[in-house]
Amino acid sequence: MHKVHLVGAGPGDPELLTRKAWRVIREASLILVDELVGAGLLDAVLEGVEPRPRVVAVGKRGGCRSTPQAFIERLMVRAAGAGERVVRLKGGDPLVFGRAGEEMAALAAAGIGFEVVNGITSGLAAASALGACWTDRRCGAAGVMLVTGHSQPGSAGPDWDALAAAAAAGVTLVIYMGVARAPALVAGRRARLPDSTPAAIVQHAATPAERSALCTLGSLVPTIDQGGFASPAILMIGAVLEFALAATGDSESAGVGSPPGRAACAAARRFDDQSAFSPSSWTSLDQRSEYSVR
């Protein structure tokens, strides 16, 4: 019996696939593919492969009819048990809001081996598109937090006040599946973050359809509405975006005032390059399938 590969397809650009992902996909006999896998990616990877593997769409998209997760897990188990070389192909990275934990547990319970092949998560691709660094120390970024805007049935959803407190302390927020929840996000952070806090949205990162907008928290919802932004998209919030705003020259038009970290960013621009080479400044680096699933 072959082990099942849970493969990250990255944000959509075939050139961002790892060599291992490329090889595993080409060796597959059955590929269970997510809704968010970039259009044309499989055609690029499978060019010249004969016979072509069967591809079964098992997509999920918020607000749309989706393939039940339990069905996907049963299909993986049944196909692997029948001797197929199964690849579960997911957009981004399987371990970042990709339900890989549930699928690994289902495979383990069935006695089927598996391996995760990591991919570039779309949050990173969004940061690259914006020319922003999640952990830019010039703005005092203390870390990064990956957040889902999607809430489980019966859940109260993300605690936006607590997340805003983290952002105010220098943590960059990267929000997946958050477009529909943007009004709640903006309303929930009012006691922690000013309207002038830098924000951004990137839709279809690292694909030919990529589009983005830099704004502020106060203008985030109008920017989404007026720009017609929709899923799949990433929201970013934090002082690290100050450099992206400065690079585009859109700070004034975006309505940027004095967000947290603005002074630190300004000071960084006055940084004496020569000091970077002084030893005293160094830091130590201590749906429908042929398988009957019941």
Q: Which helix (H) or strand (E) holds 163?
A: helix 160-168
For the question of residue 236 being annotated catalytic, the response is no
- The edge-to-edge listing of strands for the beta sheet with 198-203 is 143-148, 171-176, 233-237, 198-203, 211-216
Active-site option among 76, 104, 177, 236: 177
Q: Residue 185's Cα: distance from chain center in Å?
A: 18
CA dist., res. 10 & res. 89, Å (int): 10
Cross-strand bridge partners of residue 175: 147, 235
Active site residue 43: no
DSSP state of 53: P
Q: What is the Cα 63 distance to its own chain's centre?
A: 18
Q: Which residues of 97-136 are buried (b: 16+ CB within 10 A; e: fewer)?
A: bbbbeebbebbeeeebebebbbbbbbbbbbbbbbebbbeb
Tell me if residue 60 is catalytic. Answer: yes
**Whole-number Å distance between alpha carbons of 15 and 10:** 9
The residue from 34, 76, 90, 236 that is catalytic is: 34
Instruction: Tell me the C-alpha distance between 231 and 253, whole Å.
Output: 25
- For 205, counting Cβ atoms within 10 Å of its Cβ (0-12 exposed, 13-18 middle, 19+ buried), the class is buried
Structure tokens given for 55: 């591809």
Contact 59, 67 (CB under 8 A): yes
Residue type, 204: H
Phi/psi of residue 289, each to 5°? -135, 160
Which positions are catalytic? 34, 60, 177
